[in-house]
Amino acid sequence: MLRFSIAAIAVLSTAILAFYAGVFQTAFHSNMCYSAIISELGQQAQAAAATQDPAAMERYARKLQSLPLHGYESDCHAISAALARPDA
């Protein structure tokens, strides 16, 4: 009975550690993705502003409005793909 209890505790603790390691890895990757998106938005905004062309600013504003933003359910990779598309 003692061996079973020790084995059960070992398996359970390993499963818990693996679960939280996966959660941390996923959260870390998501945070890095969103950090890259914010950086890209800033660079594109600076580029549009540097042209001092109202049409460029209008295109950038339309691009921002077309981003697939859904609050906390936003897909970072979908936003990244939308940012990578050339301006219309």
Query: Quick check: helix, strand or coil at residue 85?
Result: coil
Q: What is the pLDDT of residues 21-42, one digit of tens each?
A: 776 776 667 778 888 888 988 9
Residue-level pLDDT at 50? 92
As a whole-number percent, the residues of the chain with pLDDT over 70 amount to 92
- Stretch 69-84: mean pLDDT, rounded? 86
Instruction: State yes or no: pLDDT of 5 exceeds 80.
Output: yes
- Stretch 40-66: mean pLDDT, rounded? 89
- Stretch 47-75: mean pLDDT, rounded? 88
